Amino acid sequence: MMENKQLVGKTSVITGCARGMGKCMLELFAQNGSNVFACVRTQTIEFVNYCKTLEEENGVHILPLFFDMTDREEMKSAVKRIMSEKIPVDILVNNAGITYNSLFQMSTMEKMQEVFDVNFFSPFLFTQYIAKLMLKNKKGSIVNISSSAGIDGNSGRSVYGASKAALICATKAIAAELGDSGIRANAIAPGITKTDMLSSMTEEVIRETIQQTDMKRAGEVSDIAKVALFLASDLSSYITGQVFRVDGGLK
């Protein structure tokens, strides 16, 4: 158990909790006293049991929600389930996403639509729904997981980077529009991080990218989760509309 818990009495909605950064955030938020609506695409008994274990270990309530972010009807049903609990939603972390590496000239319209649907349109729509719940209570923190690729415009990542850049732009606009209602919105831009998404990169590219960081290592998922915790908590109560690079000093 952790001392000085930062999210006691708060309720979070986190997408993409099945693995990687999302799963680490789920665990860290629960350890810090937050109840969590844990959103994943595929229902498994392993994830259900994992959530039960986190509940018991941390004395919080964790409700798994299973839906495809790109299925609008499934998303609506998930939001209705959240509303049915009749408890304030304090935090939203839009973590679910996909990666895609392709040269500009080789990127198809079909793939562009898929990447933008998952990385931008779906979290944008989901945020519209959850923000309505936050507006009722005049408070909330929205944390969007973007990418350093959305800032740097890396070769071979025009589509992926553009989808994450769009998320950054939306984050700043949301912060500007909802700030006077007590709702903050910030983005995290991870660099190279040890997740399943690394499988889309060759070993050579991974080594080269690590060498381009000041710290000469890839990030851990906990490095990202800790910043998400900070932005979700009252420790960052006067921070909004910002983009936090968590990349080890990537050049």
**Has residue 230 been placed in a domain?**
yes
pLDDT of residue 95: 98
Residue 2 pLDDT:
56
Overall domain count for the chain: 1
Residue 8 is classified by DSSP as T
Separation of alpha carbons 137 and 69, rounded Å: 25
Q: 138: burial class by Cβ within 10 Å (0-12, 13-18, 19+)?
A: exposed
Residue 204: its pLDDT value, please?
A: 86
For residue 157, the 8-state DSSP code is B
Mean pLDDT by runs of 10 across the 251 residues of the chain is 84 97 98 98 97 98 98 98 97 96 93 98 98 97 97 92 98 98 98 82 86 92 98 98 96 85
* Inside any domain, residue 28: yes
**149 token code pair:** 């690729």
Which pLDDT belongs to residue 198? 75
Listing DSSP states for 31-56 in one string gives HTT-EEEEEESS--HHHHHHHHHHHH
- CATH number for 186: 3.40.50.720
DSSP for residue 103: -
Task: Report if residue 236 sits inside a domain.
Answer: yes
Give domain status of residue 6, yes or no: no
Residue 203 included in any domain: yes
Domain annotation covers residue 74? yes
**pTM of the model as a whole:** 0.95
Q: Dihedrals φ, ψ of 15, to 5°?
A: -100, 155
Q: What is the pLDDT of residue 201?
A: 78
Catalytic site residue from 50, 100, 129, 160: 160
Q: Which of 140, 130, 126 is nearest to 180 (CA)?
A: 140
pLDDT at 196: 78
The secondary structure of 188-222 as a DSSP string is EEE-SBSSGGGGGS-HHHHHHHHHTSTT-SPBPHH
- Residue-range definition of the domain harbouring residue 154: 11-246
Domain assignment present for residue 195? The answer is yes
Q: Are residues 83 and 65 in contact, defined by beta-carbon separation less than 8 angstroms?
A: no
Exposed, middle or buried by CB within 10 Å (0-12, 13-18, 19+), for 42?
exposed
In the residue annotation, 50 being an active-site residue is answered as no
Residue 145 forms part of a structural domain: yes
* Helices assigned H by DSSP within the chain: 20-31, 45-58, 72-84, 109-116, 122-137, 149-152, 158-178, 203-211, 221-232
| Cβ-Cβ contacts under 8 Å for 151 (sequence gap 6 or more) | 165, 168, 189, 243, 245
